[in-house]
Structure 1
């Protein structure tokens, strides 16, 4: 039995993170899912979240993603998203301002899909940046 996952986090601009991992935690449309080596094949839609990857070097990588898909097969995990950013690269203050601006627009009645998506992406970035700072 293999005890390592090969993980790729891919955004529309390219590979954001790749490496070997012990586990991955992401949020699907059905809820949070933990992926360990030898997981059964899976294809699921992702919702905006802070994905966590526990690398084989025992570091926790946190990545903000704004939805997309997770694919698991043969100890390979691919997180495919339009937007993905490593938590350490996120400016927490800027992300909090972005979230506040999106909340203000929603509270003012702007309930269009673009505003909702902007809010969820900012929320994922804030969550990821805060999680990364907890280490």
Structure 2
């Protein structure tokens, strides 16, 4: 279902409440145990597939939940990979880490290219391409 929605143009970075996107909320729920995952591998594989699909459809890897001091910080994709997937589904965790690394390298290249342009053109490229 999630993959279908994303394929039809749903945005994983869409804001659902002030300072928080669908992507951030999903990471928070996976990390905090709110999703009530059982110990079965299949449950973790389903979460892995959702996260992979969100990443492939533009989820912002640098984003984290903002303005939520009650939980003592923010949840990142790295936290979810390390704390949730690495022990339970290590091969899939490695794949997610690879996807995240590729996205980071791509983002760095885009920023580097934009920085080499005159300042009048930087904003447009950064805003439109990232």
TM-score normalized by the length of structure 1 = 0.29
Q: In proportion to residue count, which structure has more strand?
A: 1
Query: By percentage of residues, which structure has more helix?
Result: 2
Specify the structure having the higher radius of gyration (Cα).
2
